[in-house]
Amino acid sequence: MGPLMNEIDINEYDYPLPEGRIAQHPLPERDRSKLLVYRSGTVSEDIFGRIAEHLLEKSHLVFNNTRVVRARLLFKKKSGSAIEVFCLEPLSPAGYEESFGSRVPVEWKCLAGNLKKWKHEVLSSSCVINGSEYHITAEDLGESGEARRVRFSWENPGVCFADVLEAAGHMPLPPYIAREDSVEDSFRYQTVYSRIRGSVAAPTAGLHFTESLLESLRKKGIGHTDLTLHVGAGTFQPVRSRYISGHEMHTEHFVVTVEAISAIIKNEGKIIAVGTTSCRTLESLYWLGCKVAARGFMSNAPLLVDQWEPYGSDPGLPARDSLEILLGHLKRSGKQAISASTRLIIMPGYKFHVTDGLITNFHQPKSTLLLLVSAWTGDDWKKIYAYALANDFRFLSYGDSSLLLR
C-alpha cells in the first residue's frame, strides 16, 4: 500500500471547472441529457435516451434504488437566529426503516449550521400534516463523532418520523447548486426507480433514466438488478491532503439481497454499474466474499469493507467464485440479504473484479469520485473531461452523463 499511496498526488486529478458549467437545474426531460461514450480509448457523444445502442446484448445494469430523504430541517431560535439541522443517519433506533416508522422521539447523527448560536436551546418549528399543524422540536444531545446527536420530537403519536421529514424537511441539494430547493427537486432529485429511503444525496447517474427508457432496455434483452447503498454527505467530502494516503474515506451502508447476488452471478453478459455507488457496492461484495473464503464463516460483528483492504495481497479469487461463496454463506445462515458498510476507496491501481462498465456523471476536480473514474479509464480521464468541457457538457449532479467501457 505504501509506495502506491505516495504516488497518488491529488493535484494530478485537477482540471478547470468554470462555475457556469455546473448544472443548477435538471433538463426538462431526463433522457435528453448528453451522453459521452468512451470505448477502448475513443470518445464520442450521443443522447442518453439512445444508450441501448451502445450496450451489448445481455448486458446487465446494476441500479442503486436508494431514495433521497428530505434531510434538511430549518429552525429558528427565540432570538431569531436560523439553525439548519441536516440529518445524516439514525442512531436510535439505529435502522433506517425503524427510525422512519417511529411514532416516538428519534435520535439522529446530524450536521448543524450556525452551531455556535444554538447553545443547547430546544429548537422548535412547525409543519402541516394531513391538514393539521404540528410542532417539531430538536434537542442537541452533544457530539457524535464530527457531527451532533440530535433528538427530534413531535406532538402527534399518530404521525411517524417519515411524515415529519416529508412535511417539514427540504431536499438536500449539493452545496455547489447555489439555490434553494424547489417543488421540482422533490421528484427530479430522485431516480424513477428509487424505493428504499435513506440517502442524503442522489445516486445521480440514475437521474437520466425514464420508465420508457427502462422498458426499451428490457426489450433489447438488457436486464437489471437493484441494490441499495444509502449515499451519505461524505460523498461531497473534499480530499484535503496532498497525498491520498492522508484522506479518510467516509462510510456508507448497503444492503444487497440474495436474489440480486444470484442474478449477478447468473448473468452471461457485461455487468454495468449505474453510478459510482453501485460500483463501490459491487466491488465491496467481492471483498466480503473473499473474507468468507478465508475464514470459512462471517462473524456477527458489523460487516465492513475497509478503505485500504484491496491494496494488500491479491486473494486471487475469481469474482464469480467470491460471490458464490458469499451467496452460499447467506443461504446457510438463512439470511435473505447482506447488510454491511463500506469505506472502500477505488483509485488508480485498483483491480476491478465485478464491474465491466460504468455509467456516471462528471465529477468535481480533486475528488475521490474522479479517482474512481481514473482507476477505470487510466489517464484517458483527461481526454474524456477535455472533450466534455470543449463540447458543452453540463457537469455534476444535474449534469450530463458518460458511459465508460473498456
pLDDT at 4 over 70: no
DSSP 19: G
- From 136, 170, 204, the end of a domain falls on 170
Pair (226, 158) in one structural domain: no
User: Helices (DSSP H) in 248-300: which residue ranges?
Assistant: 258-266, 276-295
Domain span holding position 54: 2-67+186-405
Q: pLDDT tens-digit profile of 40-92? A: 899 999 999 999 999 998 999 999 999 999 999 999 888 888 999 999 999 99
User: Is residue 258 one of the residues assigned to a domain?
Assistant: yes
Pair (203, 155) in one structural domain: no
Measured CA to CA, the distance from residue 380 to residue 43 in angstroms comes to: 10
Pair (314, 360) in one structural domain: yes
**Higher-confidence position of 177 and 313:** 177
Pair (238, 347) in one structural domain: yes
Q: pLDDT tens-digit profile of 168-203? A: 999 999 999 999 999 999 999 999 999 999 999 999
User: Is residue 302 one of the residues assigned to a domain?
Assistant: yes
Query: 194: domain CATH number?
Result: 3.40.1780.10
Q: What is the pTM of this model?
A: 0.94
User: Is residue 178 one of the residues assigned to a domain?
Assistant: no
Pair (154, 77) in one structural domain: yes
Which run of H or of E encompasses 305?
strand 304-305
Domain count, the chain: 2
Pair (244, 389) in one structural domain: yes
pLDDT at 220 over 60: yes
Pair (109, 246) in one structural domain: no
String of DSSP letters for 170-194: B----TTS-S---TTHHHHTS-TT-
Pair (157, 192) in one structural domain: no
DSSP 362: P
CA dihedral 24, 366, 73, 146 (to 10 degrees): -170
State the amino acid at position 136 in one-letter form. I
- From 144, 170, 196, the end of a domain falls on 170
Per cent of the chain over pLDDT 70 is: 98
The SS3 assignment for 68 reads strand
- From 107, 140, 170, the end of a domain falls on 170
Pair (163, 257) in one structural domain: no
Pair (222, 350) in one structural domain: yes
